[in-house]
């Protein structure tokens, strides 16, 4: 997206806004006596028996004398980033729904307040005007070309925000793409293109290679699809002076039927988005590259499909993973932890400082949190604490769950080293983490993110689309916290 940003330190006036058709007013708790179009705001509030302070809960939309439209909102000082993003999304939605080519933002408050509000509003506006995949015949999409910010002129041009938007957009574009247009073969081709564009090192472990090296957990899932085009893809970004070595791991199941334990139609709907974890990892990698973070990032993508066929793996199979552990298959719809097991082993053998993995992994995490937040589990308590803090900064809410050893006794097998899962369900999000942790070598610090909030009807936080790219902002902040 090519967007022109104009920043003007002068307070906006009715004269300066005379040509603006779509205007966002970001106010403080203190009423501004010289607010442009303030009389329109006060009159409308009086008509609906509102009070000025109520704008910190619900934005107000008003027509302007020049046939334009304005949205008024208060961002109170006690709001956290998620609340600010959510309120800005609601305030901007009626403006952006008209697909304007120009948008104006008017800021009030002290310098620090204006800077924070400008950054948040710019992010929410730009992340919601990027084009997403649509196959509707009649749809016409107009790009936002200009954003004018009145009342604040920063010493920078928000390129770091643009990088986060680019990462989030890539994540959503890939996740939304229909499954016939994002098979493992096509996905891998797209990744090759991304690698060339961004200067990433690229290698692939295809099915013959995985079989040869003994990655039986991944291979068990990939063997059920035709063609057998599953692969573990490895990308690397390296800054000239890296301060840390971080691995990203993403679950990339391009479509999940459930395998022999086939999903009913209700739960198979949307299973093309089961590759969201890999898209989040790619989005973080892209944003970190564009921000030129001082880090080396190994990005490992477990790309496959979970299909039914003569060679598909089945209940009671026993397979041997890359690290030599034997796994008793209990449920073929627990394929995510199978492909991640061998991928985590490969990632940990590079001995990074930290591994961050992302996956739409368990229904039990959705049962625990719903679709408004995502959960993390770590083999280092301090990483879980950092994750919660990073989520607060990013406006993507994170909840930490335990990693207690006694949960693993539920995965004891009579025939193999470990069971893949249980049939009883229960705390499957914790069982999955205990399972995955067995495949990390060299005692590498590791944080697992179960993306229960990857899709929420009506949007979440800053993002209007149901598929919201949750995790890209959080992952970026997590890396920055590790570099601090």
Q: Catalogue the active-site residues.
A: 263, 337
- The number of beta carbons lying within 10 Å of the beta carbon of residue 203 is 12
Q: Which of 379, 376, 410 is nearest to 478 (CA)?
A: 376
Cis peptide bond N-terminal to 370, omega within 30: no
Distance CA 258, CA 446 (A): 27
Q: Which residues contact 156 (CB under 8 A, 6 or more apart)?
A: none
Residue 222 token pair? 């990939």
Q: How far is CA 93 from CA 40, 123, 251, 320, in A?
A: 20, 13, 32, 51
Mapped onto helix, strand or coil, the DSSP state of residue 430 is: helix
Distance CA 231, CA 347 (A): 14
Q: Which of 365, 315, 364, 359 is nearest to 341 (CA)?
A: 359
Contact 236, 230 (CB under 8 A): no
Q: Which helix (H) or strand (E) holds 21?
A: none
Distance CA 378, CA 448 (A): 6
Contact 120, 88 (CB under 8 A): yes
Distance CA 274, CA 255 (A): 6
Contact 290, 241 (CB under 8 A): no
Q: Which of 377, 365, 381, 342 is nearest to 428 (CA)?
A: 365
Distance CA 396, CA 476 (A): 11
Q: In what order do the strands lie in the sheet with 326-328?
A: 318-320, 326-328, 418-419
Q: Which of 164, 433, 200 is nearest to 299 (CA)?
A: 200
Could you give the angle at which helices 159-176 and 472-483 cross, rounded to 10 degrees?
140
* Beta-sheet pairing, 231-238 with 295-306: antiparallel
Contact 253, 361 (CB under 8 A): no
* Beta-sheet pairing, 146-150 with 102-107: parallel
**Cα-Cα end-to-end distance for the chain:** 31
Distance CA 187, CA 129 (A): 24
Region at 412 (left for phi over 0; alpha for psi -120 to 50; beta for the rest): beta
């Amino acid at each position: 997206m090519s967007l022109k940003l104009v920043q003007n330190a002068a307070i906006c006036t009715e004269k300066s806004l005379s040509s603006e058709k779509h205007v966002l007013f970001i106010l403080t708790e203190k009423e501004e006596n010289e607010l442009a179009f303030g009389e329109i705001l006060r009159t409308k509030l009086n008509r609906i028996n509102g009070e000025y302070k109520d704008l910190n809960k619900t934005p107000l939309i008003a027509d302007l004398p020049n046939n334009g439209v304005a949205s008024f909102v208060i961002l109170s000082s006690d709001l956290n980033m998620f609340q600010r993003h959510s309120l800005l999304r609601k305030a901007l939605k009626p403006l952006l729904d008209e697909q304007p080519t120009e948008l104006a933002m008017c800021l009030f408050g002290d310098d620090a307040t204006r800077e924070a509000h400008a950054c948040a509003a710019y992010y929410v506006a730009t992340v919601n005007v990027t084009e997403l995949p649509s196959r509707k015949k009649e749809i016409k999409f107009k790009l936002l070309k200009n954003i004018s910010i009145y009342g604040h002129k920063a010493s920078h041009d928000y390129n770091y925000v643009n990088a986060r938007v680019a990462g989030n957009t890539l994540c959503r574009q890939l996740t939304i793409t229909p499954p016939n247009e994002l098979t493992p073969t096509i996905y891998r081709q797209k990744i090759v293109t991304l690698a060339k564009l961004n200067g990433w090192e690229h290698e692939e472990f295809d099915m013959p290679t995985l079989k040869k090296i003994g990655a039986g957990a991944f291979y068990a899932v990939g063997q059920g699809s035709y063609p057998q085009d599953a692969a573990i893809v490895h990308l690397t970004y390296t800054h000239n002076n890296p301060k840390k070595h971080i691995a990203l791991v993403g679950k990339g199941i391009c479509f999940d039927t459930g395998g022999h334990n086939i999903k009913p139609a209700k739960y198979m709907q949307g299973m093309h988005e089961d590759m969201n974890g890999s898209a989040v990892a790619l989005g973080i990698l892209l944003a970190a590259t564009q921000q030129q973070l001082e880090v080396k990032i190994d990005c490992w993508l477990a790309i496959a499909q979970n299909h039914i066929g003569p060679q598909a793996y089945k209940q009671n199979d026993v397979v041997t993973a890359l690290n030599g552990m034997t796994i008793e298959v209990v449920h073929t719809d627990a394929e995510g932890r199978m492909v991640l097991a061998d991928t985590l082993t490969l990632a940990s053998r590079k001995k990074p400082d930290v591994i961050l993995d992302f996956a739409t992994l368990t229904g039990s995490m959705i049962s625990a949190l719903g679709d408004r937040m995502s959960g993390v589990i770590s083999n280092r308590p301090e990483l879980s604490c950092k994750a919660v803090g990073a989520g607060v900064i990013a406006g993507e809410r994170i909840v930490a769950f335990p990693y207690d050893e006694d949960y693993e006794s539920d995965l004891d097998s009579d025939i193999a080293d470990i069971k893949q899962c249980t049939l009883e369900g229960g705390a499957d999000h914790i069982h999955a983490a205990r399972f995955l942790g067995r495949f990390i070598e060299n005692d590498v610090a590791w944080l697992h993110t179960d993306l229960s909030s990857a899709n929420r009807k009506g949007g979440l936080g800053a993002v209007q689309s149901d598929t919201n790219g949750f995790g890209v902002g959080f992952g970026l902040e997590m890396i920055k916290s590790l570099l601090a």
